[in-house]
Amino acid sequence: MNTALQPAIHVRGIEKSFKDLHVLRGVDFDVASGSILALLGSNGAGKTTLVRILSTLLKADAGTATVHGFDVAEKPGDVRESISLTGQFAAVDEVLTGRENLVLVAKLRHLTQPGAIADDLLARFSLTEAGGRRAGTYSGGMRRRLDIAMSLIGDPPIIFLDEPTTGLDPQSRIEVWQTVRALADGGTTVLLTTQYLDEAEQLADRIAILHQGTIIQNGTLAELKQLLPAAQVEYVEKQPTLEEVFLALVGAPTGTESS
Ligand SMILES: Nc1ncnc2c1ncn2[C@@H]1O[C@H](COP(=O)(O)OP(=O)(O)OP(=O)(O)O)[C@@H](O)[C@H]1O
Ligand SMILES: [Mg+2]
């Protein structure tokens, strides 16, 4: 079992090939309990492959990985009970309402009081008002939040989020970030993959860069920034970023319903 001293996720020498394509060539990293690791990498770097190995959906060719103290190859059942996986594409049933989606998952997990669990999660994800509406009518951000809410049923100590904000507008992205941050503050360990550098900057305690099959850098944002020399200070007015302008015009999310 997991102890406070052990990392929540421990990965050593993981390799994976698809025929001649040697995608993972010896991946090593740890994720401390209750922290957020952002795994960065270009398209095809192997992020989803790694997440699938750690969530027991795929077997590695070599190396070891433990999740919540359980070896992914030896104890896949125990690993699955310790994690949730939100995939790159939302797994929401569009015909059901948001609340029905949550109740369904709670029932599948044999939890008592599925209705109360659903109502609690709807409130936590600012979806109470939308809860009675078919999920097919939700915006991308609402659907993503519902998807993450569904993955939290049963309170898994470790969650994997594969590109949680791809395709979302800036407001929805910030809402998802707030959600993920709140989870980590509550002690959940989060491994997320992303292609957005600002997402990693905003959210991650540590950032690991997967490139050509290995982790080429792993550190805090401050540590990674020290890899480059500081820019010469020039006395020019700082222009706002497009994101700052966009959010100033449309209003930053307040944690209330968005549609
Ligand atoms: N089941 C499979 N069979 C063959 N090749 C695969 C399989 N799964 C992944 N690959 C290949 O492995 C490489 C890594 O894929 P993966 O999906 O892990 O990348 P990724 O980092 O998640 O990319 P993206 O940012 O586009 O989601 C890609 O070249 C992909 O085509
Ligand atoms: Mg992927």
Ligand 1 atom nearest to CA at 51: 18
**What local confidence, expressed as pLDDT, does residue 62 receive?**
98
Residue spans of the domains in the chain: they are 9-92+138-230
Residue of 27, 47, 166, 197 to mutate, ligand 1, most atoms within 8 A of C-beta: 47
Out of 18-32, 153-167, 221-235, the most confident range is 18-32
Six-digit token string for 222: 């401050």
44 lines ligand 1 (CB under 6 A): yes
**What local confidence, expressed as pLDDT, does residue 259 receive?**
43
Q: Is residue 153 pLDDT above 80, yes or no?
A: yes
**What local confidence, expressed as pLDDT, does residue 2 receive?**
44
In order, the DSSP letters of 65-130 are EEETTEETTT-HHHHHHHEEEE-SS----SSSBHHHHHHHHHHHTT-S-HHHHHHHHHHHTT-TGG
Q: Is residue 155 pLDDT above 70, yes or no?
A: yes
141 lines ligand 1 (CB under 6 A): no
**What local confidence, expressed as pLDDT, does residue 240 receive?**
75
- CATH of span 9-92+138-230: 3.40.50.300
For residues 36 and 225, the model is more confident at 36
33-42, 71-80, 193-202: which has the minimum mean pLDDT?
193-202
Mean pLDDT throughout 45-61? 96
**What local confidence, expressed as pLDDT, does residue 167 receive?**
76
For residues 61 and 254, the model is more confident at 61
Q: Is residue 89 pLDDT above 80, yes or no?
A: no
pTM of the entire structure?
A: 0.85
* CA–centroid distance, residue 240 to ligand 1 (Å): 36
